[in-house]
Structure 1
């Protein structure tokens, strides 16, 4: 492959020059995608301050709102792998546009929903936006692949996208309350605002984002494989949702979870026989891939499951012997500080990757999450202690949000970038679902001695322990990744990467090279 500007082979371009060329290719792309992620953050932060008002608007109970979140989590877990595969087959921009249209329609439907059922369906379908980040990472990686700087440029870009995401979450959380008051507490008018934002995203992608280049050759969608995968994920995520609602004493909940896990046995046997499988298990078992996917699931425990317990702990009256007794406004400031620490972590990760190595940076980030949550065990009585712990965990979490899909993209062969990045989201979602279910149960273990609505201190201790140990296990698993994994590839190698999904020889070569660099 040759440089479009110089006509010289890319491999002949100095590394520093290749980096600048790649930046020139992707700078505009990152800008448009950053707008997409700002909107994604708005969607994640906008509805939380309005929960009580939405509940009143629909005439339902507070506990019913949990069904909205559970349904959206379920939909996102099911559709992300399929959409990512379609992106690998037909172009990531095309599927990104389709996901945006579905998200926009559902967001507009939310604004005009007047009952529980309509709002539930619309909120669930809004979960299509979760595929945005994996598809964006795949698009960026595809652009960088042409200059041999795909891995490093994707890490930088993913960090910027996470900054945009968290900034959007802050804007959404603050803006929702302000707009609700400005619109005289009109729920419909307030909910129209994110619908307008998602609509604008469609045009930003349509006119500002170039299409990726799908791998050559005839591809097909493994319908049977995805059906089995969907069934397994449906059983597991449904079981975890009902576990949180019905409690550990409900026997059929455990049957659902067990059935979902067992489904992966026939799924694995079937996929290994396919030329173009839904999930290429041969790629998944590579030493530079499986630790990344497991890390995503383990980090999902704290990233998606621990925020609600931290908020309720901060609001618990200290008369119970623990808790900070913070008001809603003060808790918002604390959460905002946590999000800012995530932004800092996302910005520092590419720098740490250059100073050490991408693998080393991932390990450090995982250890930061572990340290942050384990520090809660001795230090949780003062506001500054909780703030410090959350800031440390936030630095690691912010780095990992963008770094894990970028690492998965770097580890995947051509033609499987979207699926690999999407799997980090799916495993993270499963980890978060597990955490939400378990944390909901453990926080009811024991009883507060003064106020009946407060959870027990033992429950909070257990939550922090699970989060800390999960991140610690993730850090240890990452030591099994080859030392030089996720580094930039030689453009000549990229040009000759067959991108086959049945490439046993390709996988074997990569694995053999990787083994020589392990630990």
Structure 2
């Protein structure tokens, strides 16, 4: 292939007149969309144990209902972010609601495993709503409203997950399980209508073409990476399939990186991603993803284990959800406070503080897992830290990339967090599988297993704080300030 000329240092932007923006309505609608997207993750938790009977399949096969959404979310998020930069973030927000609606309807009508997995794949495609919403805010909101808006939409991930548990459990216990998915379809349709009426199109877009080769390469690499991590416990960590996919992931992602560096219009601009502020922030995001998911897996299990074990709290699924729900409320309350801290001291400080608060929550668990009230407090402290951290990360990313790259950069950051949570789920699963106690012929996670996992979460949170403290930032930079685009090398493609 012939050598091409490099893009000019300045991105070729397509600018339209600034739209009339009702800031409060835009933030509320995008936060609502984020909550709905995150609800799709927690929606099926009350049904996990029932799916084998409902769908006439094995427990191992039924786990694909969770795994399929996880994989598709990871693949679709960076793609939707780049498409938002190219063709408009409002347009992509509306497009993302379509698979949320259709996927929910397919799940509601499913009578066997394959349609259910297809519906869950479609729901995963719609997860790009959250990073797209954060990127749209940078284009639409005045600087003084941007920090609080980003913080609220970032925290919508935790809010939706926390509030989704009691809602899903209550519906499951008192109505047909299909009501969950019909409700999800209706809420997704409502989100689409609200976006249509209240969210204007972003006035800034980048030039160029969509990188189909990069999208296919990244998707294949992520599937080869995340699939064995998610299913390694079932397949065996030393099995040929697990090791083969991990090796394939390394090879494919290396080739993908080479392509992205050599192509004119990359899916992910790795030169921008390699900038110290962006690179270290993404590294902290992976580690924070590792930390945050441990408590989300541990505390609900502990609440529901029988009291006869001596450490279980004997709560029903609905009661467990209600005990966990205040943590979502705390995220909603704390996110604007985190934005104010970022405005005064910078998002780097907020990220460090958030990681330290998470470490405090995990550390408290050593003494506070003996009652439902204590577990709720631990959960709230962890989620306060998470709200601070999640609100700061997009601000750091957007403070280090040009305006034309916000969708792609935010989506890549969301991907980094997803990788961290996937690895965390695997690590927690391995620890709890190794540290068990016999209860009536069943192997249940032991009390020491819970404490060990929470202490590991504490250590990882402190590691995230240390990495965040090393983020190099220009004093006073905010997400609203423009950043010079990366230079293109003009290296031939192929």
Interval containing the TM-score (normalised by the shorter chain) = 0.7 to 0.9
Among candidates 72, 75, 79, match of residue 78 of structure 1: 75
CA contact (8 A) 1:137 1:409 kept: no
Q: Distance in 2 between matches of 1:195 and 1:342?
A: 25
1:139 and 2:136 equivalent?
yes
Q: Distance in 1 between matches of 2:377 and 2:55?
A: 39
DSSP-derived class of the 2:445 partner: coil
Among candidates 455, 458, 476, match of residue 445 of structure 2: 455
- Shift of residue 117, structure 1, vs aligned partner: 0.6
CA contact (8 A) 2:108 2:181 kept: yes
Task: Indicate the residue corresponding to 1:192 in structure 2.
Answer: 182
Among candidates 20, 24, 43, match of residue 46 of structure 1: 43
CA contact (8 A) 2:334 2:387 kept: yes
Distance verdict in 2 for CA 1:465–1:250, change over 3 Å = farther
Question: Number of aligned pairs?
Answer: 472
Task: Indicate the residue corresponding to 1:312 in structure 2.
Answer: 301
1:208 and 2:205 equivalent?
no
Task: Indicate the residue corresponding to 1:155 in structure 2.
Answer: 147
1:107 and 2:99 equivalent?
no
Q: Distance in 1 between matches of 2:47 and 2:423?
A: 26
Among candidates 402, 407, 413, match of residue 391 of structure 2: 402
Distance verdict in 2 for CA 1:372–1:60, change over 3 Å = same
CA contact (8 A) 1:345 1:398 kept: yes
Q: Distance in 1 between matches of 2:479 and 2:241?
A: 49
DSSP-derived class of the 1:337 partner: helix
DSSP-derived class of the 2:436 partner: coil
Among candidates 272, 275, 284, match of residue 273 of structure 2: 284
- Shift of residue 25, structure 1, vs aligned partner: 5.2
| Cα deviation digits, residues 439-459 of structure 1 (max 9, x gap) | 212111143044424112343
Q: Distance in 1 between matches of 2:476 and 2:323?
A: 34
1:269 and 2:258 equivalent?
yes
Distance verdict in 2 for CA 1:308–1:131, change over 3 Å = same
Distance verdict in 2 for CA 1:474–1:450, change over 3 Å = same
1:66 and 2:63 equivalent?
yes
1:358 and 2:347 equivalent?
yes
DSSP-derived class of the 2:276 partner: coil
1:119 and 2:109 equivalent?
no
Task: Indicate the residue corresponding to 2:407 in structure 1.
Answer: 418
CA contact (8 A) 1:247 1:441 kept: no
- Shift of residue 55, structure 1, vs aligned partner: 4.6
Distance verdict in 2 for CA 1:177–1:393, change over 3 Å = closer
Task: Indicate the residue corresponding to 1:431 in structure 2.
Answer: 420
Q: Distance in 2 between matches of 1:306 and 1:466?
A: 10
- Shift of residue 121, structure 1, vs aligned partner: 0.9
What TM-score do the two structures reach when normalised by structure 1? 0.82
- Range moving further from structure 2, 221-230 or 73-82: 221-230
Distance verdict in 2 for CA 1:178–1:379, change over 3 Å = closer
Q: Distance in 2 between matches of 1:196 and 1:327?
A: 27
1:473 and 2:463 equivalent?
yes
Q: Distance in 1 between matches of 2:475 and 2:81?
A: 23
- Shift of residue 275, structure 1, vs aligned partner: 3.0
1:241 and 2:234 equivalent?
no
CA contact (8 A) 1:248 1:441 kept: no
Distance verdict in 2 for CA 1:76–1:489, change over 3 Å = closer
| Cα deviation digits, residues 108-155 of structure 1 (max 9, x gap) | 1111111111111111211022100100011101124xx5x2xx5332
Q: Distance in 2 between matches of 1:170 and 1:27?
A: 24
Q: Distance in 2 between matches of 1:379 and 1:251?
A: 42
- Shift of residue 70, structure 1, vs aligned partner: 0.4
- Larger relative contact order (C-alpha < 8 A, sep ≥ 6)? 2
Distance verdict in 2 for CA 1:168–1:253, change over 3 Å = closer
Q: Distance in 1 between matches of 2:255 and 2:204?
A: 29
CA contact (8 A) 2:162 2:321 kept: no
Within 5 A, what are the aligned runs for 1:224-239? 224-239=213-228
- Shift of residue 382, structure 1, vs aligned partner: 4.1
- Range moving further from structure 2, 193-202 or 317-326: 317-326
- Shift of residue 189, structure 1, vs aligned partner: 4.2
CA contact (8 A) 1:358 1:487 kept: no
Unaligned runs of 5+ in 2: 1-17
Q: Distance in 2 between matches of 1:192 and 1:126?
A: 13
Unaligned runs of 5+ in 1: 1-20, 505-519
Q: Distance in 2 between matches of 1:489 and 1:302?
A: 25
Distance verdict in 2 for CA 1:479–1:190, change over 3 Å = closer
Q: Distance in 2 between matches of 1:212 and 1:244?
A: 44
Distance verdict in 2 for CA 1:440–1:177, change over 3 Å = closer
